[in-house]
Structure 1
Amino acid sequence: MASKPTLLVTTSTFPRWKGDSEPRFVYDLSRRLTETFNVVVLAPHAAGAKVDEMWDGMHVYRYRYAPAAWETLAYNGGISANLKQNRWNALLLPLFFIGQWWALRKLLKTYPVDTLHAHWLIPQGLVAALALWGKTTKPTLICTSHGGDLFGLQDAISTRLKCWVVQRCQAVTVVSHAMLAPIQALAGANPPPVSVIPMGTDLQQTFIPNPQVSRAANQLLFVGRLVEKKGLPYLLHALQQLLPTHPDLQLVVAGNGTAQADLIQLGESLGIGQHVTFVGRLEHASLVRLYQTSTLAVFPFVQAKDGDMEGLGLVMVEAMGCGCPVIASDLPAVRDVIRHGESGCVVTTADSAALATAIASLLADPTQRQTLSTQALATVRNGFDWESVTQRYQHCLQSTPSQPSMTEIIHAN
Structure 2
Amino acid sequence: MALPRALVVATTYPARPGDGTPAFVRDLCLELSSSFEVTVLVPAVRGAPSREQDGPLAVVRHRYFPRRWETVADGAILENVRASRGAVIQVPFLWASQWFAVRREFRRVRPSVVHAHWLIPAGVSARALSRRVPLVVTTLGGDLYALNFAVARWLKRRVAAAASVVTVMNSDMAARAASLGARDVRVMPMGARFSVVTPAPASGPVRLLAVGRLVEKKGFDVLLRALEAVPHAVLTIVGDGPSRGELEAAAHSLGARVTFAGQLGREELDEVYRHADIAVFPSRPAASGDQDGLPVAMLEAMGSGLAVIASDLAGLNEAVVSGESGLLVPPGDAGVLAAAISELAADPSQRRALGEAAAIRARGYSVEAVGAGYRALLHEVIEAAKPSPPSV
Match of 1:202 in 2: 193
Aligned length: 384
CA positional deviation for 1:348 = 1.3
Match of 1:119 in 2: 117
Residue type of the alignment partner of 2:190: M
SS of alignment partner, residue 190 of structure 2:
coil
Match of 1:400 in 2: 381
CA contact (8 A) 2:322 2:328 kept: yes
TM-score, reference length from structure 1: 0.90
Match of 1:408 in 2: none
The C-alpha deviation readout for 1:279-315, integer Å capped at 9, x for no partner, is: 1011111111112221111111100111100011111
CA contact (8 A) 1:200 1:384 kept: yes
Match of 1:309 in 2: 291
SS of alignment partner, residue 374 of structure 1:
helix
Match of 1:409 in 2: none
1:162 to 153, 156, 167: 156
The correspondence of residues 167-206 of structure 1 with structure 2, limited to 5 A, is 167-187=161-181, 191-203=182-194
Residue type of the alignment partner of 1:46: V
Q: Distance in 1 between matches of 2:277 and 2:58?
A: 41
Runs of 4+ in 1 over 3 A off after TM superposition: 401-404
2:312 to 318, 322, 330: 330
SS of alignment partner, residue 113 of structure 1:
coil
CA contact (8 A) 1:170 1:401 kept: no
Residue type of the alignment partner of 1:253: I
The C-alpha deviation readout for 1:82-124, integer Å capped at 9, x for no partner, is: 1111112111122111111111111111122110000000010
CA positional deviation for 1:208 = 2.4
Q: Distance in 2 between matches of 1:316 and 1:142?
A: 25
SS of alignment partner, residue 41 of structure 2:
strand
Residue type of the alignment partner of 1:323: G
CA contact (8 A) 1:341 1:372 kept: yes
The correspondence of residues 65-144 of structure 1 with structure 2, limited to 5 A, is 65-76=64-75, 78-130=76-128, 132=129, 138-144=132-138
CA contact (8 A) 1:326 1:345 kept: yes
CA contact (8 A) 2:192 2:297 kept: no
Match of 2:237 in 1: 253
* 2:258 pairs with 1:276: yes
Match of 2:248 in 1: 264
Structure 2 unaligned residues grouped into runs of 5+: 386-392
The correspondence of residues 212-223 of structure 1 with structure 2, limited to 5 A, is 213-216=200-203, 217-223=205-211
* 2:44 pairs with 1:22: no
The correspondence of residues 294-305 of structure 1 with structure 2, limited to 5 A, is 294-305=276-287
2:269 to 287, 290, 301: 287
The C-alpha deviation readout for 1:48-76, integer Å capped at 9, x for no partner, is: 21001111111110001112112111123
CA positional deviation for 1:17 = 2.0
Residue type of the alignment partner of 2:201: S
CA positional deviation for 1:402 = 7.2
CA positional deviation for 1:214 = 2.4
Cα distance change, pair 274–394 in 1 and its aligned pair in 2 (3 A): same
CA positional deviation for 1:322 = 1.2
Match of 1:35 in 2: 34
Alpha carbon RMSD of aligned pairs, Å? 1.5
Q: Distance in 1 between matches of 2:171 and 2:362?
A: 16
TM-score, reference length from structure 2: 0.95
Residue type of the alignment partner of 1:27: R
Residue type of the alignment partner of 2:251: G
SS of alignment partner, residue 20 of structure 1:
coil
The C-alpha deviation readout for 1:393-413, integer Å capped at 9, x for no partner, is: 011111137749xxxxxxxxx
The C-alpha deviation readout for 1:224-263, integer Å capped at 9, x for no partner, is: 11100000111111111111xx2xx211111111011011
The C-alpha deviation readout for 1:339-372, integer Å capped at 9, x for no partner, is: 0000000011111000010000111111111110
SS of alignment partner, residue 16 of structure 2:
coil
The correspondence of residues 25-64 of structure 1 with structure 2, limited to 5 A, is 25-64=24-63
Cα distance change, pair 402–33 in 1 and its aligned pair in 2 (3 A): closer
Q: Distance in 2 between matches of 1:264 and 1:288?
A: 24
* 2:369 pairs with 1:369: no
Structure 1 unaligned residues grouped into runs of 5+: 405-413
CA contact (8 A) 2:306 2:355 kept: yes
Q: Distance in 2 between matches of 1:284 and 1:401?
A: 34
Residue type of the alignment partner of 2:375: Q
Q: Distance in 2 between matches of 1:231 and 1:108?
A: 40
CA contact (8 A) 1:209 1:321 kept: no
